[in-house]
Structure 1
Amino acid sequence: MASELHEAIFMAKQERHKNLFLNYRNLNNFPVELLKDEGMQFLERLFMKRNSLTTLPENLAQKLPNLIELYLHSNNIAIIPQAIGNLVKLQSLDLSDNALQVICPEIGQLRSLRHLRLANNQLKFLPQELGDLRELETLDVSMNLLRTLPERLHQCPSLQCLTADRNLLHCLPRQLCLLPDLNELSMAANCLTSLPLDLGRSMELQFVFVDNNANLKGLPSYLYNKVIGCSGCGLAAQISDVKQLCLTLGDVTFPLPSEVKAIGSETDRVLPLEELACRVLHAAHNWTSKDVRFLTPFLLPKSLLDVVRWPLGHCHRCSQPMFTIVYPKLFPLRETALAGVHKRTTVSFVAYCCSSHCLRTFDLQG
């Protein structure tokens, strides 16, 4: 393995390669061959994904001064040296799936940076200096331990996509509403209790993902004209039907989803039992209601039977109906594009209908 690594770097130096791929090399340390003598002044893209690196060399910028893209996904990097700020030409930096607990303020010196990915680390806060990244277009800080986002992010005029799913965020800085080019904002699976009232006022903001925030009771009215996204139910688009379990009701047998045999984990999500039960009952109801032999298919309370008959939405990934994983709107629509839709005063839910790409309203009666 060492000889292959040495040969790959030797050839790259001899032929002055602009791209160097060192993925899956079981590297514990940064290769010293890259840093010898004058280094690799011509190298522009360095791929070192899925190794075991724990840190980066202090003289990285000195030896690789023309780096445009640096991919370090899936390593064990715990510390970024302050010298990272000297990579003045760097446009894309991927440090996702590492062991980072702190990001040094010097990252704000990467004035050419356009894409920054820090997902799946152990970050509890981000430096305010991120606001100095005037060219930044994409920022992904999902799957960390963040409770807040830097207020100075609004100083990134080029920011188009901000992803902070699966953190501990309780609120969003109102200054984010000032981002002129923000097109997509994803804050799913956090602890949000409210959103800035001005959020969505910008014509550029088109996609907002805020599902799975249990304490979030409503959306700003400006968002009703937007495409309110849903990250889906978490299942794969296609599920194998092999060896499915079955549910028997009298003389009739219905197949159960194969997911019920799975054990949930952070990477292999399993639906709540309530959702699975609703889906099975929904499928069974649709089947039995077409058969004249079943005059009363289920002895269920009317409220539950109504829920089973009419899903609140459909998952845009697997196209299956969704009954419990839909974002609730618990206040009137007021003066919005959907105003006047209600004909009853019951609690209503608005779901993003992923299969038809339209907004629809559904009423639940208790």
Structure 2
Amino acid sequence: MASELHETIFMAKQERHKNLFLNYRNLNHFPVELLKDDGLQFLERLYMKRNSLTTLPDNLAQKLPNLIELYLHSNNIVLIPEAIGNLARLQSLDLSSNALQLLCPEVGRLRSLRHLRLSNNQLKSLPPEIGDLQFLETLDVSMNQLVSLPDRLHRCSSLQHLSADHNLLSHVPRHLCRLARLTQLSMAANRLTFLPLDLGGSRELQFVFVDNNLYLKGLPSYLYNKVIGCSGCGVTPHGGDTDKEGQDEALSEALFGLPAEVKAVASEADNVVTLEELAMRTLHRLYHRQRCHPTDVTFPPPIPLPKSLLDLLQFPLGHCHRCTQAMFTVIYPKLFPLQHTALAGVHRRTTVSFVAYCCSSRCLRTFNLQG
């Protein structure tokens, strides 16, 4: 086996191969032949699937500087070195089905990276630096032990596919609603109790899979007419009740687990928005106008605010499903039971409903799921 491996690498060096396949070689260590002398300066794709590697060499980028794709699926890698960040041309990194417990922040230096696959590991967190990967299109962190996703993930402006199935996630960061190119979001088999009010507001997002989140009771109405997987959600059957009492009970279940920022759930009879909410909306409009017209001297100077408040102004809790007004502390919910929608005949094992979130009693009265 050793002689065969040596011959394969020798031929790759002699013939200046761009692709090298070392799958199923029973390797316990990274082959030293790849790192001798000048290494393989011309190698672009290295496949080392289903071996027994436990780590990577620190001089990997120095010896294989032109790697574009690195496939390490199904090894025993516990740690990847900080030097991984020196692979300046790397576009695809597959570390699925290893034993990773920690991902080094230097991954954020892989500025050319487009596809990052980390499924089936033992990760409990992801470094915030992942948000620096502006060309990242695919991120798969399924089957780990994640309890949250980095807030800076919304900076991955090219992200199209995000998979985080089978983790311990209790919520979806509302900042992800800002991912304008996201087309598919999969967060099945987690511990979700609610979804961001704005989720689905982007036209690009067409596929959302949240199956088997037992305590998820409501879907934002923006997801209506998207391709949705929600089988196995909800734990209390709604039945077919359509009377007022049944609707109120279903609505209270659908609102279970709303984010802590929601300080009030208003009703159609509440015609006055709180002063706190009005102040936040006014500040939001002011800062939005200043960002859009930074050189316009007719606007008043920016008001100094603490960072926590500035973050909230940048990422409102949600936007009214009727008029798109930003909302911060109060919502007006309107329930649309599943049996009244197109999903009723598809997801028979789910008890979720669509919930519209409005900014005022007026929008609440005029909102229609179909329109």
**TM-score, with length taken from structure 2:** 0.65
Q: Which letter does structure 2 place at the counterpart of 1:328?
A: V
What is aligned with 1:329? Answer: 353
Q: Kindly tell me: are residues 206 and 119 of structure 1, through their superposed partners in 2, closer, same or farther at Cα, counting changes over 3 Å?
A: same
CA RMSD of aligned residues (A): 2.0
The residue aligned with 2:131 is: 131
Q: Indicate whether 1:59 and 2:56 are aligned.
A: no
- 3-state SS of 2:78 partner: coil
Contact 2:221 2:356 (8 Å CA) reproduced = no
Q: Secondary structure at 2:61's aligned position in 1? A: helix
1:36 corresponding residue in structure 2: 36
For these two proteins, the number of residue pairs brought into alignment is 253
Q: How many angstroms apart in 2 are the aligned matches of 1:330 and 1:219? A: 5
Q: Which amino acid in 2 is paired with 1:3?
A: S
2:277 corresponds in structure 1 to none
* Contact 1:74/1:96 (8 A) holds in 2: yes
How far apart are 1:214 and its partner, in Å? 0.3
1:14-163 matches, within 5 Å, as: 14-163=14-163
The 8 Å contact of residues 209 and 231 in structure 1, kept in 2 or not, is answered as no
Deviation of 1:336 (Å) = 4.6
Q: Contact 2:212/2:230 (CA < 8 Å) preserved in 1? A: no
Q: Which amino acid aligns with 2:145?
A: L
SS of 1:26's partner is coil
Deviation at 1:227, TM superposition (A): 1.6
Partner of 2:184: 184
- Letter paired with 1:56: L
Q: Is 2:221–2:354's contact at 8 Å kept on the other side of the alignment?
A: no
Classify 1:231/1:40 alpha carbon distance in 2 versus 1 (closer, same or farther; 3 Å).
Answer: farther
Q: Deviations over 1:100-133 (max 9, x none)?
A: 0000000000000000000000000000000000
Deviations 1:221-276 (A, max 9, x none): 111131213689xxxxxxxxxxxxxxxxxxxxxxxxxxxxxxxxxxxxxxxxxxxx
Deviation at 1:330, TM superposition (A): 7.0
Structure 2: which amino acid aligns with 1:74? S
Paired position in structure 2 for 1:215: 215
| Aligned mates of 1:172, 1:330 — CA distance in 2 | 17
**Match in the other structure for 1:361:** none
**Per the alignment, in what secondary structure is the counterpart of residue 219 of structure 2?**
coil
CA distance in 1, matches of 2:172, 2:163: 12
- Against the structure 1 CA distance between its residues 4 and 313, is the aligned structure 2 distance closer, same or farther, given a 3 Å change threshold? farther
For residue 8 of structure 1, what is the aligned residue in structure 2? 8
Measure the CA separation in 1 of the matches of 2:5 and 2:351: 51
Secondary structure of 1:191's aligned partner: coil
Which one has the bigger helix percentage?
A: 2
Change in CA separation of 1:330 and 1:43 when aligned onto 2, cut-off 3 Å: closer
Give the Cα–Cα distance (whole angstroms) in 1 for the partners of residues 193 and 356 of structure 2: 18
Aligned residue in 1 for 2:248: none
- What secondary structure does 1:225 align onto? coil
User: Where do 5+ consecutive residues of structure 2 fail to align?
Assistant: 233-342, 358-363
Aligned-pair CA distance for 1:328? 2.4
Higher relative contact order (CA 8 A, sep 6+): 2
Once residues 79 and 212 of structure 1 are traced to their aligned partners in structure 2, the CA distance between those partners, rounded to angstroms, is 31
What SS does structure 2 have at the residue aligned with 1:70? strand
C-alpha separation in 2, matches of 1:336 and 1:112: 44
Can you give the 5+ residue segments of structure 1 that lack an aligned partner in the other structure?
A: 233-310, 315-321, 340-366
Residue 308 of structure 1: aligned partner: none
The secondary structure found in structure 2 opposite 1:167 is: coil
Q: TM-score, normalised by structure 1?
A: 0.66
